Homo-oligomer: A and B are copies of this chain.
Amino acid sequence: MTTGRPSRPSSRGRGIPEATVARLPLYLRALTALSERGVPTVSSEELAAAAGVNSAKLRKDLSYLGSYGTRGVGYDVEYLVYQISRELGLTQDWPVVIIGVGNLGHALANYGGFASRGFRVVALLDADPHRIGERVAGLHIRHVNELEDVVAEHNVSIGVIATPASAAQDVCDRLVGAGVTSILNFAPCVLSVPEGVNVRKVDLSIELQILAFHEQRKAGRAASLAPVATVGQNLARPLDGAPDLSRRTVPDEDDLPEAMRA
């Protein structure tokens, strides 16, 4: 805490770019795999390939943490695993609570990738009375009313929302009220939180939509004659701010509109 070396662009220096932070877990995973295979040292080129990025980016990213490599040699795998873990805060234990134990909540509760990185699921909460007591992943499902108790009891600072969209904001508010300052949201909706609370969102269908966008392009490129978008380009018509005809009437698209999840 006394260190004042200005030569190190690390954490204090300026702060690690978000894009870099988002890639550290990738490097960590690749390094863990190498570590398990007993590989002692790795070059930026090799590690970059394993993580799916280019080596310049990798070296730049790592340089934000410090100078942990050796010129002419590479990086010591174990040492780098530790440094990245530490930077990410994974050398400590993170009690996590999951709210919403539907299919997704189940999957999350059983997901091995959490435990192995210091995330410990301390409670599963659900609003459905019929589910209370049910055993999932070694835990008994508790009622969401116990949220505040659970958070206090286990000092939870990370909450995972896996409820339907309709319940998400309420649950979010309660988490925040109970003192949780990091939220991972799987519900397909935007959460509003006060300053100082961090929210990250995982949206299963958004990724699919992005793929569809590119897939469509490919199709269009391959065969401009293809039967692509046939559903209503005839509807494509400017707006008006006045009478409005040619609107999307498309039946098949509005039917299970936000059929949300469960």
Query: Which of the 9-residue segments A8-16, A125-133, A169-177 touches chain B?
Result: A8-16
What secondary structure prevails in chain A residues at the interface with B? mixed
How many A residues have CB within 8 A of the partner chain? 128
The 0/1 profile, CB within 8 Å of B marked 1, for residues 139-158 of chain A is: 00000000000000000011
- Asked if A39 is an interface residue, CB under 8 A from chain B, the answer is no
Q: Are B247 and A118 within 8 A (Cβ)? A: no
Q: For A63, what are the chain B residues with a Cβ–Cβ distance below 8 Å?
A: none
Q: Are A261 and B75 within 8 A (Cβ)? A: no
Which of B79, B104, B112 is the one whose CB lies under 8 Å from A248? B79
Q: For A103, what are the chain B residues with a Cβ–Cβ distance below 8 Å?
A: 103, 106-107, 110-111
Q: Are A212 and B89 within 8 A (Cβ)? A: yes
Q: Are B116 and A258 within 8 A (Cβ)? A: yes
Q: Are B262 and A13 within 8 A (Cβ)? A: yes
Take A12-B258, A85-B253, A257-B36 as given contacts and tell me if A73 and B215 are in contact as well, using a CB distance cutoff of 8 Å.
no
CA distance A240 to B75 in the complex (A): 9
- Asked if A56 is an interface residue, CB under 8 A from chain B, the answer is no
Shortest beta-carbon contacts, A-B, top 4: A76-B239, A89-B216, A112-B259, A103-B107
